[in-house]
Structure 1
Amino acid sequence: MRAEVIKKIEQNKITPHLKLRLKEKTEQFTRELFYTLFDMETDVASHMESLQDLFSELVKMACWETHKPCYEVWENYTNKLPGILELLNLDAKAIFECDPAARSVEEVYLSYPGFYAIAIYRLSHELHRVGFPLVPRLMTEYAHRQTGVDIHPGARIGASFFIDHATGVVIGETTVIANNVRIYQGVTLGALYVAKNLENVKRHPTIEEGVTIYANATILGGDTVIGANSVIGGNVWLTASIPPNSIVSHTPEIKIKTTTNEK
């Protein structure tokens, strides 16, 4: 019976390149990359060497398609890291300057889940942009698990981005976000509907510069453009574009009944 069960399991392991070790190594790579860029007690030079070794392991596990651009990626990626770090420092500054609860910029780096999610997104985006398989998505899914923020590495996000409170935020693959945008918890920037034949179609909205989107707002559709400097109120549902400098609000009907105890 034991041999029969083993045989059936082996027959149904049908994905030849599925190696769960890739997920574990990607998470290790992500953590070490974050420490290398931000931790003052982490030596950059020595950790860049260990990161290169880790990346070589990721290449061997993830790049089973020989035509994919894997083996030449590392040097170009490392050349991008200073620019990515500059962007992330702008993100941290934007969070600190916009949130009265932030007592120091160190607090932002250490304790803000929104910043961590943005950081891992930016670090994964460059790998996604050059077509490196699987690893960028595993990086952002690791951040998703840690923070509750789901940013697809294919999204395009400008400078000084601020996610407040973070939990429940979803930003789809073809989303475009300009500079100085602020969003709050529970915001979804998603697609109107999902179909496999839309793989190469812009399915998610464009958010122009200076927009603020408050909690639990949902904005859907690849043709939907939120004009610059607009404010989207909490719980708003949008599937159409709005012009710059708009204020969109949702006013629910709230009824309050007060009872009194009569003797």
Structure 2
Amino acid sequence: MELNYWLNVRVPYISELLEEINKDYFFKNKTIGFAGKEIVYKVIFNLRCALFPGVYEKHPIDEDNINIIIGNNLRVAATLINNLIERALTNNCETLDCQSANCRKCKDKAYEVTMKLIDKMPEIRKLLNSDIQAAYTGDPAAHSYEEILLSYPSIEALSIYRITHVLYDLEVPLIPRIISEYAHQLTGIDIHPGAKIGENFFMDHGTGIVIGETCTIGNNVKIYQGVTLGAKSFQLDEEGNPVKSVKRHPDIEDNVVIYAGATVLGGDTKIGHDSTIGGNVWLTHSVEPYSRVYNSQPLPTIKHDITD
């Protein structure tokens, strides 16, 4: 049988099956789709250009017009994300009238969220200033703030996280996770937008860090590559499925340092302030403030083979 003949016969049938599957499992209402995902990336670009004028643009900017450049980036980002937020809210809306052209609930909520996000930008910028300072103070290899801003994955990830956290707090569905996974792809750092992170936060090297949804991190905290702040186990419902929106991840208080490869698990686990967690430690219980936690391992065996 020739391929063209087979395609003419089978493709309409297969297309119909795929259409029915999608109707049953996905895209029942409105969704942002892959095109929306690309727009989300553009929103992040414009917002970060507003936060750090002249850093992310492909061409030098006119410093005499920085106010105008910031304003234009905020306007573009606000317009784009407002439409996406409205579609995401509509998709999740349980109001029967929401699919009606006369329903303004999701539209008005999208306006409200967008305005609150833009209002938060100066606060986000101040938090990022503290994160840059923490990197400069905490890394002897850092020689300038510009070096940190342009080359450190910690700031790349945090500049995106601090935007997504605002959207998460405003109960925007879907979009915060798309943005946070974009940062994950860029940096290898996985921060859930629901995590709460204080000022002066620094992730040295950064690769492989995981920070879970219900994790809280205080001020002046420093963590190294490969650290996991995760869940110990999942509470299950009567059908055996994980229960959503319960505390699963640890609390890290102020002035804590967690070294490379450490794993801290559990919603009832608290690391007291001014503590140090050593490299490759596995910790599933709380420790008091001013603790020093490290692995006690036997010394390695070293043999010297001497041949004549």
Q: For the superposition of Structure 1 and Structure 2, which TM-score range results when normalised by the shorter chain? A: over 0.9
Name structure 2 gaps, 5 residues minimum.
1-9, 55-60, 99-104
Match of 1:118 among 150, 158, 180: 158
Match of 1:15 among 15, 26, 30: 26
Matched residues in 2 for 1:10 and 1:198: separation? 31
Matched residues in 1 for 2:110 and 2:173: separation? 8
SS in 2 for 1:242: coil
Pick which of 15-24 and 210-219 moved more: 15-24
SS in 1 for 2:300: coil
Match of 1:228 among 273, 291, 295: 273
Q: State the TM-score, normalized to the length of structure 1.
A: 0.95
Match of 1:2 among 4, 11, 28: 11
1:37 counterpart residue number: 51
Cα contact 1:206–1:226 (8 A) shared by 2: yes
Name structure 1 gaps, 5 residues minimum.
none
* Equivalent residue letter for 1:231: T
Pick which of 248-257 and 167-176 moved more: 248-257
Please report how far the alpha carbon of residue 39 of structure 1 lies from its aligned counterpart in structure 2 after TM superposition: 2.6
2:5 counterpart residue number: none
Pick which of 49-58 and 183-192 moved more: 49-58
Q: Which structure's CA Rg is the greater one?
A: 2
Match of 1:70 among 104, 107, 110: 110
Q: State the TM-score, normalized to the length of structure 2.
A: 0.81
1:47 counterpart residue number: 73
Matched residues in 1 for 2:11 and 2:123: separation? 56
1:118-151 superposed Cα distances (whole Å, 9 cap, x missing partner): 1111111011001011111111110011101111
Cα contact 1:181–1:210 (8 A) shared by 2: yes
1:59 equivalenced with 2:85 (yes/no): yes
SS in 1 for 2:148: helix
SS in 2 for 1:219: strand
* Equivalent residue letter for 1:152: H
CA RMSD of aligned residues (A): 1.6
Matched residues in 2 for 1:262 and 1:98: separation? 48
SS in 2 for 1:108: helix
1:26 counterpart residue number: 40
Matched residues in 2 for 1:186 and 1:220: separation? 14
Cα contact 1:22–1:61 (8 A) shared by 2: no
Matched residues in 2 for 1:12 and 1:253: separation? 57
Match of 1:82 among 122, 127, 149: 122
2:249 counterpart residue number: 204
Matched residues in 2 for 1:60 and 1:202: separation? 29
Matched residues in 1 for 2:168 and 2:38: separation? 19
* Equivalent residue letter for 2:50: T
Please report how far the alpha carbon of residue 200 of structure 1 lies from its aligned counterpart in structure 2 after TM superposition: 2.6
Match of 1:190 among 230, 240, 244: 230
Match of 2:202 among 162, 168, 175: 162
Matches within 5 A, 1:85-96: 85-96=125-136
Matched residues in 1 for 2:204 and 2:284: separation? 23
Cα contact 2:53–2:70 (8 A) shared by 1: no
Q: How many residues align?
A: 263
Matched residues in 2 for 1:236 and 1:133: separation? 35
* Equivalent residue letter for 1:255: P
Matched residues in 2 for 1:172 and 1:58: separation? 25
Matched residues in 1 for 2:117 and 2:167: separation? 7
Please report how far the alpha carbon of residue 166 of structure 1 lies from its aligned counterpart in structure 2 after TM superposition: 0.5
Please report how far the alpha carbon of residue 197 of structure 1 lies from its aligned counterpart in structure 2 after TM superposition: 4.6
